[in-house]
Structure formats: C-alpha cells, structure tokens
Structure 1
Amino acid sequence: MEPEDRPGDAAGWQALGERLGTLATRLKAKGLLLAWHNHDFEFTALADGSMPIDHLLQHPDLWLELDAAWIYRAGADPVFWVRKLSDRILIGHVKDVAPKGTHLDEDGWADVGEGEVPWRALWPLYMASPARLMIVEHDQPSDYRRFAERSAAEIRALAKGETA
C-alpha cells in the first residue's frame, strides 16, 4: 500500500478493516480465506498512539499473513506482536533484518538466522498459531543460492529446537 493510500487515523484503518472483512466474509462463504500481509507501517503508532494493525483486524473473518521482519523494521517487538496476534495468523513469513549499516547491497535484509530478528523465540510461537504456511523470503538477496542454503539450514535447526 503506497504511503498516499494509507489511512491516516484510527477511523480510516477501521474502515479499511471493515471493507476487507466484508470481502473476507464473502470469500469464506466460497471456501476461501483472506489474509492481510503486513509491512512496517501497520506497526507504527498513529497520532493517537494506537497501532493501525489493531484497527485493521477488528473483523473476525480477516486473517493475517504476518511478517515479523517488517515488525522488527518498524521498531516494534515482533515477539510481543506474534503472541498478541497468534490466533489470527494464517501465513507466517520467515525473513531476517541485517544489523544496521550492513548488507546495504541487499537493502538491509539478511539470510534467516544471520540477522537480528529473534527467530529462536518466534518459531515456537508461529508453530503454536493456526499458520498453515511459513514462507521463507529475502526481499533482495545478492546470492539466491547462499540465501536458500543458509536459511534452510537455520529453519531445519529451528524446527529441531536448535540453532544452525
């Protein structure tokens, strides 16, 4: 969602959530589910101190495609938010953020396990959620093979309760 298209206040986010929720209800009747994929802006406080994500998800039929790395990039605590939104997660994104000032050629993203997102704490929370898919991603890898190999090793270790 482009910055100029984003609601600027709680009422705007609530209205967007209601429109999406109405669509989600119609899709649910056809056996489909609708999930919102977040970025950083849903976890940046509005002028009244509230978070857009809280207003957006008021409709019970709207699910969440939760990307913890974008939550981290917003400066919010991904562990807090994954816990809080756990019952709404349909899809999880497994992505990592490089330490500030590094990986500039990759827009500050890192291979999973090579960055600062607390995956050891997050993985079990996602596994306890209703998430049906975990999508491993990197928005701008300079080497796709390296990204895939390192991230796969880290996810195997996370699934075993270890670290790579």
Structure 2
Amino acid sequence: MTQLKLSLQLFSMRELGHLDHQLHAAASAGFHFVEPLENHLLDKGALADGLRRYGLEAPTAHVSLESLQVKPQELIHACDECGIETLFAPHPWRTFHAQGELAWRKLGLDLGAVAELLGGKGIGFGYHNKSAGLTAKPGARCGIDVLFDAARGSRLLWQADIGWIHNAGASPSEWLRRYQGLLASAHVKDRAPEGANVDQDGWSDVGAGVLIWPSLWREAIRYGARTLVVEHDNPKDPADFAKRSFEYLSRFLVP
C-alpha cells in the first residue's frame, strides 16, 4: 500500500509572511509534508531550497486550471525540481459564474484535457472542490457529477475538500464513497459550532469543531485518499493551528 502522508496546506500559513517562516512553522509543528501554492512554484528555486532546509517534501501542490492551460511547461519544470507528484486545481470560483450543466461539462472536459497532458509527463492531476456543485435542485444533476462524467476516460483525479462538502450541506461520507475510484487526496479541516470563531470565518483547529474526524479519516483512507492535507482558511494563529491539528491527527497515523 502507498505510504499515507499527512501534509499541511501552506495557504493556512500565509499570514506568517515569507516562505521560510511558513516552512519553519510546518516543520516545527511536526509535519514532514506540505502542499504549496502556485506562487511558490513560480519561484521553484526558493521552494526547493526551503524544502531541503527543513527536511520537508511536497508531494502535491495547488495550481489554477487557467495557469496550467497557459504555461504548463513552466509548472511541469517546477514539479520536477521540487519533487511534486500531483497537482490539484481548485474550483475556479472567481471565473466560474454559470451554474448550468453546460458550464460544468466544459469544466470537466478542460480538466480532463489537462490531466492527459500532465499524465503524459508523469504528473498526476485532479480537481479540488469548493461548495459549488454538491447539491442540486429537483430534476437537475449535481454539477460535480456532470464534471466527472464529462472527464470520464481521462486521468483526472479528485482531492476532496471535506470541510467544503460539509459546508454545502452535503454528506462527506456519501461523496467520498461515490467517487472512490477518483479519490487521491483529501483536505482535512474542521468547522466551529454555529456562531463560534466568527473572526476565523467559522473554521476551527482540526479536532476542535463539529466534524467527526475519526470516522471521516477512516473513510477518506478507505476510499482512496493517500495524502491527507490539513487546512484552515483563516486561522487566528497559523503556527498554533498547525501544531494543535498535527497533535490531534497524529494519533490516527499507523506506524
């Protein structure tokens, strides 16, 4: 079985400033893996040096679909230099305004085409959901169902953001099971009780919120996730969030 990797999404560390500070905080919290962002890959030398300095690896990274369509070779070279095996494109919520099936189908076709391009270079590629497309009106299909159907036959993978599935009012367990054949990674995050942590956009340290992580962790692994990425969209204290979340989740790691 492929090694299970507990990683930290560097988006959660952005308020610490310089990349060196972010990587130091990740390593100090106990992480051996991190998930960089597109801007980190654009300075691939600094990222590669920082990873070596702190004994970290970056098996995955987040890059926009638009950038992969415009400058794939630059990002492929960054992956090669930094040891990144799989890229995930977050849902393009800034530009994806149409909610009809045609829009979701086009998104699936575009993602599938990039997955084929990157797959030919030995790099995996997947879609990272937000809350859109997880519920449907009566008589309509869920957008993500349309997306994955359009990409059928391609090498497209899925990184499930379990926190956003929960926020959409959908069942994380149901969605993980439904696309277990595509699931390669999952974002591990937690939601504070209703009305709490308003200054953190309602998110919490993993294990301190309302999501039942012991069972969700097991289900994510059972259905195919091999890189579990810890994230908080707006932590009050990023370094403390990383430390507390790692301490909570490390109990689930099997030696």
Structure 1, 105-114 or 48-57: larger mean CA deviation = 48-57
Supply the distance in 2 between the matched residues of 1:106 and 1:85 (Cα, whole angstroms). Answer: 30
Three-state SS of the structure 1 residue aligned to 2:160 is strand
Amino acid at match of 1:127: I
- Maintained 8 Å contact 2:99/2:143: no
Aligned to 2:143: 52
Aligned to 1:146: 240
Which runs of structure 2 are paired with 1:101-112 in the superposition (5 Å)? 101-112=195-206
Aligned to 1:42: 133
Q: Percent identity?
A: 35
How much has 1:10 moved relative to structure 2?
1.6
Report the structure number with the largest CA radius of gyration. 2
How much has 1:94 moved relative to structure 2?
0.6
How much has 1:98 moved relative to structure 2?
0.8
For structure 2, the residue ranges without an aligned partner over 5 or more in a row are 1-91
Structure 1, 146-155 or 98-107: larger mean CA deviation = 146-155
- Maintained 8 Å contact 2:180/2:223: yes
State the Cα deviation string for residues 98-139 of structure 1 (Å, max 9, x = none): 111100010000100111122122111222233331111111
Supply the distance in 1 between the matched residues of 2:199 and 2:229 (Cα, whole angstroms). Answer: 22
In 2 relative to 1, CA 9–46 (structure 1 residues): closer, same or farther, beyond 3 Å?
Answer: farther
> Does the alignment pair 1:6 with 2:97?
yes
Supply the distance in 1 between the matched residues of 2:121 and 2:102 (Cα, whole angstroms). Answer: 29
Structure 1, 46-55 or 27-36: larger mean CA deviation = 46-55
Which runs of structure 2 are paired with 1:61-140 in the superposition (5 Å)? 61-140=155-234
- Maintained 8 Å contact 1:9/1:46: no
> Does the alignment pair 1:28 with 2:124?
no
How much has 1:3 moved relative to structure 2?
5.8
Amino acid at match of 1:53: I
Question: What TM-score do you get using the length of structure 1 for normalisation?
Answer: 0.88
Supply the distance in 2 between the matched residues of 1:86 and 1:22 (Cα, whole angstroms). Answer: 21
Question: What TM-score do you get using the length of structure 2 for normalisation?
Answer: 0.58
Three-state SS of the structure 1 residue aligned to 2:180 is helix
Q: 2:250 aligns with which of 142, 156, 163?
A: 156
Supply the distance in 1 between the matched residues of 2:198 and 2:167 (Cα, whole angstroms). Answer: 14
Q: For the aligned residues, what is the CA RMSD? A: 1.8
Supply the distance in 2 between the matched residues of 1:63 and 1:6 (Cα, whole angstroms). Answer: 23
In 2 relative to 1, CA 6–123 (structure 1 residues): closer, same or farther, beyond 3 Å?
Answer: same
TM superposition outliers: structure 1 runs of 4+ over 4 Å: none
State the Cα deviation string for residues 79-113 of structure 1 (Å, max 9, x = none): 11112122211221110011111000100001001
Supply the distance in 2 between the matched residues of 1:89 and 1:18 (Cα, whole angstroms). Answer: 18
Supply the distance in 2 between the matched residues of 1:12 and 1:92 (Cα, whole angstroms). Answer: 25
Amino acid at match of 2:198: L
For structure 1, the residue ranges without an aligned partner over 5 or more in a row are none
Three-state SS of the structure 2 residue aligned to 1:81 is helix
How much has 1:54 moved relative to structure 2?
0.7
